[in-house]
Amino acid sequence: MKKIYAALLICLLSVSGLKAQYSFTDTTGVYTPLTSADTLDMSLWTWDDDYVRFGLPFQVNVYGAWYDSVLIEANSTLIFYNDWSGLDPWDVNDTVHVIMPFGEFVTNFGSMDLMSKGGGQSPILYEVSGSPGTRIMKLEWRNAGFYEDTSAMLTNFVNFQIWIHEFSGNVECHYGTSYVDAISLGGGTGPVVGIAPFAMNSTSSTYLLGNGIYVSGSSGTETDVPNYTLMNGLPADSSVYLFYNLVTVSVEEFSREGFSLYPNPATEFCFVNSPGNELTVTLFDASGRVISEQQSTNNSAVRLDLNGLEKGTYFVTVLTETGVTTKPLIIQ
């Protein structure tokens, strides 16, 4: 499977007329290992050449499609597809969507035994935080070594997490302490970090489609033509890469549901309004932390007080009897 994935990254398919569906920004934050996490079942995992099927705790929106399960690949890639039952992942003939928090082949830390079971010193952990409607699924690769490690003592390792937000589908990649000495990252300059659609074809090749977004250094590079970007080195300790899902937080969707958010960008306050609807309005920061929550009275507009908040991108989620809609809010 390793060779197949290498071909996946090399074989490219031209696609035109695609619209960007994610935006990217980078920031920093204290890296906190998961403390209330469960360990993924690694009994069939070989680390260098296998995968784990994982039932998601809630439906996840990736590129406008909703998924309830994911395949976690040996290179830490998350492959989203709804009907894995009875399928080898490479038997799929369809477009799938992938998230790559650290697209590099990893293995059990400090071990030549790549066939070791159970994850050893390098478990993959998962945790769900928050309340229904605003939950965050967190996956952590703890002390993962590198399959291509060329150092004599096999001491290279990396810690990273991926956070996926319910409903909005926003994705955060968090990077912790790592140590890299003499290492070969599959012959490249660094891992692939990003989000993209893939066209999978079991009878020929698997192709990377356009409309992906990848990280080069700390800069997100949108690729409207098929291509991918290797990072130059590893993400720095405490880096947080944020991918905002524009499919579910688009202005068009917000307006179509009859909601309005104004002014945006805003400074001291803004209003959320939807004539004829009782609203529950929640303001989140980029990490998913709830800043405030209010309810409308008598179908009136909800006023959000923004005083004291740092400049940046926030998210306004509107809950009604018919569903949930989210829109980004820029505070200047």
Q: Are 22 and 245 in contact (CB under 8 A)?
A: yes
Fold (topology level) of 251-331: Immunoglobulin-like (2.60.40)
C-alpha count within 13 angstroms, C-beta hemisphere, residue 329: 30
Work out the number of other CB atoms within 10 angstroms of the CB of residue 278.
14
Residue ranges matching CATH 2.60.40.3080 in the chain: 251-331
Spatial distance between the Cα atoms of 13 and 10, rounded to a whole number of angstroms: 10
Tens digits of residue pLDDT in 274-332? 766 677 888 888 766 788 888 887 667 888 999 989 888 888 888 776 666 777 788 88
Spatial distance between the Cα atoms of 46 and 104, rounded to a whole number of angstroms: 15
State the pTM of this model.
Answer: 0.69
pLDDT values of the chain reduced to their tens digit, one per residue, 332 residues: 333 333 333 332 223 233 457 878 888 888 999 998 888 776 655 555 567 788 888 888 888 788 888 888 877 889 888 776 666 666 777 778 889 998 877 776 655 443 343 345 778 889 998 877 778 899 998 888 777 776 656 677 889 999 998 867 889 999 998 877 655 566 667 888 889 888 777 665 556 666 788 888 767 776 655 567 778 778 889 999 988 776 654 444 555 556 788 888 888 998 888 766 677 888 888 766 788 888 887 667 888 999 989 888 888 888 776 666 777 788 88
Show the tokens assigned to 182: 């003499």
pLDDT of residue 253: 52
Spatial distance between the Cα atoms of 182 and 247, rounded to a whole number of angstroms: 41
pLDDT of residue 248: 53
Spatial distance between the Cα atoms of 100 and 129, rounded to a whole number of angstroms: 21
